[in-house]
Structure 1
């Protein structure tokens, strides 16, 4: 993720999380045994650095699961997310 500071909040720019995409673990050799393990770790890492009031611009490939999966993950992530 790239970021900049504007006032009291951060503005983040990121892409290609591929949440809910089981095959991505094999394609790019992500070091996770299961899809749940990968998704849980991505959420944990995101929330470790993004604040509740931060803006996040996600430029693509957030999830392959469509709107249902996107809402599922958005509900777990800090920040105001723009896709």
Structure 2
């Protein structure tokens, strides 16, 4: 299976009590980190692929900081396809690439993209980026993105897949575990229900 997430911001002390920009309230970054790891591994297996659309962590951009990020990412199940966010230094990607170990499937643990990529499934074309894109009038094209935390783009062609997204309200299942990546089926449900919501507004 494939999954999608963004803006985990591991180790980011500024977000543990920031209810204005990010919808999370933890006593410590350790509590936040462990919650994400536990809820992630509850659904993702090492045979799955998770597209992480940027802002992985907030640590010092040095060996110690990069090692912290490596250690927590190695605890996450699945292959991680990492798209660079504004808080992801290029040096971190180089460090992860040098120190990664193959999965049991013999695939690399980490795959890297600086800007984004295009993915096609369920008769849709998905533009995977960190920053939201404005696609304009399009047919079956959707931008999956992060960056804006608990905000949503006022367009039916944009879906925020970050851990703080308000767009999980488009899902039938409410109160999803914090930090759990969105499955392909959940993405399609969000796309469909956001489109219906916008049609009702006309």
Instruction: Give the structure-2-normalised TM-score.
Output: 0.35
CA distance in 1, matches of 2:4, 2:23: 23
1:37 maps to 31
- Are 2:49 and 1:50 aligned? no
Segments of 5+ residues of structure 2 without an aligned counterpart are 83-202
1:13 maps to 4
Moved more, 47-56 or 57-66: 57-66
Moved more, 47-56 or 63-72: 63-72
CA distance in 1, matches of 2:44, 2:54: 18
Query: 1:19–1:62: 8 Å Cα contact kept in structure 2?
Result: yes
CA distance in 2, matches of 1:56, 1:69: 20
Deviation, 1:60, is: 0.4
- Are 2:56 and 1:72 aligned? no
SS in 1 for 2:72: helix
SS in 1 for 2:27: coil
Larger RCO (CA under 8 A, 6+ residues apart): 1
**The structure with more radius of gyration:** 2
Aligned residue pairs: how many?
74
Segments of 5+ residues of structure 1 without an aligned counterpart are 1-9
Query: 1:63–1:69: 8 Å Cα contact kept in structure 2?
Result: no
Query: 2:49–2:80: 8 Å Cα contact kept in structure 1?
Result: yes
What whole-Å deviation, never above 9, does each CA across 1:18-73 have from its counterpart, x for those lacking one? 11111111223522111111111110000011111100110101111253232111
CA distance in 1, matches of 2:69, 2:53: 14
